[in-house]
Structure 1
Amino acid sequence: MNPVPVSLPFTDRSEAGRRLAERVRPFAVRDPLVLALPRGGVPVGAELARLLDADFDVLMVRKVGLPGRPELGVGAISEDGHVIFDDLALARMRIPRQALAETVEAERKELERRRRAYRGDRPTPRITGRDCVVVDDGVATGGTARAALHMVRQADPAQLVLAVPVAAPEAVASLREEADELVVLSAPDNFHAVGEWYRDFSQLSDGHVTAILAERGRAHPPADVARGVRIRAGEDYLDGDLTMPAALRGAIVLAVGEGRTDPRWRAIASVLRRSGYATLLLDLVTAGERAEHAEGVGTEVLGERLNAAVTWLRRATDAANEPVGVLGSGTAGPAALVTAAERPRDVGAVVVYGGRIDLAEPALSRVRAPVMVLLESGDSFVRELSEWARGRMAGPTDLRVMPGAEQLLEGGQEWRQVAVETLDWFDRHLSGSGD
């Protein structure tokens, strides 16, 4: 990601973390973990993790400086013991790696001391399969950040992001290939040192770091409460998964024809829950219909089933008085519009992903809830039908084409953007919509 102009300097590291949050949010979707480089990256990362509702920990990396000139970094050592040298810089100065042996050993000892001080007996956080955001207060040469990224990459994260408020342009260029995404708020041409770009760049002690880590530990929210549910819809029963966050601000029904157990749908539901929404993941096609390979369950029938699910959510859960949104995908897309038309006092906003929304034609004129249409591709015929349907709705609508989103259930990564767009739409339109 390219740097964008921002107002500098930052007030302090916490403000820098707050300003990073919106730029990082689209990349911190799957069970996100913020990993801060001590010491300066810790207050930045703590604020970022708070705003993203992500897990937070430190990533132990130490710069290797020249003997007698420790501020001049020529390498870095990571917690796993791996050492990365800036061989170009060493070659320019005609310094062999062997000349740094004592410095490397000293930094290993300091790294272990800090690891014990900051983490104690607490195990290192799980990285595999998660969106990991490595954070520092700035990047001058890039050596420390490179070592940190190499260390995290070895643990096989789902996505690896480097996020820093300010960096030297040369460092940005050299680090671009090291992470899946690079978020840098500013890379000034006149960059000399990280501290120049903060009004308050006070030195941090080990005590500051451990206090921030302890505070984050105390602030960690209680676990979500999840359970499988069966909802009666006329003569049929629908299978679903209901998860209630501890701090509830609304509820979202994620309706699919079938396939609610797909990891990507569960990840999208997780994004919504981290923002305070209860989620009901629901298959609108029954188990019996799936077993019989039934096809062509009509929009009206699916709409009635989704209507029954919203009624159940209102009556049988703590979401009775909370605003409700509906995300309908595929064949459940037009059903979501039918339900919005039938339940205007209950459904506060709708997102439709894929599907033929024109199939909800009889109900469109009664849809007053705000509707976001996410198209799977730029196919002109599908878009024409969607625009036609939008024009018949009574409430505000928007339409976005998600490039590559047809791969959502085929192993692609585009579901991340679907999750972000969905959360943004519900955040904008569900506030105050509850009865």
Structure 2
Amino acid sequence: MTDALCHLVVDGNEVMEIKLVRSAEDIEKDDCSFAPEMCHQVFGENENIFGYSDLQIRLYYSAGSLQTYLGIEYTDKIEPSKSEGLKADDVEGALKKVLAPGYTTNLDQFVSLLKKDESFTPYGRLLYAFTVTPRDGEDKRTFEVYYTETSTSNFLSFHQRLQTFLLWYVDAASFIDVDDDQWTFFTVYEKYQSEEGGWRYATAGYATVYRYYAYPHHIRPRVSQVLVLPPFRKMGVCAHLLQTIYSHFVTLPEVVDITVEDPSEDFQRIRDYVDAKNCQSLPAFQPAKIFQGFSTEMANQACSKYKINKKQTRRVYEILRLKNTNTSDKTAYLSYRLDVKNRLNAPFQKKKLEMKKLQKVLKPEEYAATLTATGVGETQNRLASHYQTLEHEYRRVIHRMEMDFD
């Protein structure tokens, strides 16, 4: 591409504006806007859009029912006849593939659709309500979490609009197969009063959970997708949403344990916080026992009370032990670090044993090549780095527990 055309290449994240619109006045308010964190799942790996001058993409949703408006504006568009056949990217075509059917490109029509939110009520069954006080000193805000299944009346068309947010905020996101009735949904809404005084709802986030079969007649729920929309972040909404999921499933006798599918670092931190906060009151996690090391008793109590699997329970133990360790006491702190490093080192020790067996059957040059390829020689450096990263994450969880910000 020539330098003369470079001005026609823009970053999709920078030209897209997303809004959750509660009233027609919000359309003109800049403080209602937020940007995508990624767009490669729509516009390609480099996230660039080609062929337009002053491109602006507006993706507006009515705050409750998520009626959708798509606006695409630009001052000029490249013409193939004047640019050696180069074509502008088909922006609406790319978006049409992912947006739910029924979106409008007419702003006046979108404004009229906002009236639907006056009578919008959440789908499904109310499980939990909570209030939060934002850190910036605003008034308390009220939220409600609702449970739905694929069979819930009219929910799937709403979900079709809701899941489009995944593309902008969850890497490697994919839309789920809603024909599979093992999917369950937990949607959180903000409940607020309109200027007229009535109650209204704004969609704030959601989670999908798949009920995997476990032999012989049990299930193993797996948290799959979790998303809190940008205007509702940093308020503890995700922690409450996860706690609601736990509270729903722990009471079901057929549930073995609850797992999470490929959690992001941010979500794992929230999960650690919720699990550690829940487990710290259990008898097996009291200081007198926690300094004796990880135990079967801990795994059993965490699973029995909160359906936490053994791998996650071990993380909870390490977090709570660090929380109770006086790190100024060199002996106590060393004991803690060795305990965690022994767990981290276990897979490498297994690999070392395997390498010793290989050494007996491989030629010296083959063994040296295998040693290099597997990185066994770098174990100590990787172990130290892994531990430092882990302790940093644990300290962030502990800090939040001490702040006790829900």
Per the normalisation by structure 2, the TM-score is 0.28
Q: Which has the higher helix share?
A: 2
Per the normalisation by structure 1, the TM-score is 0.26
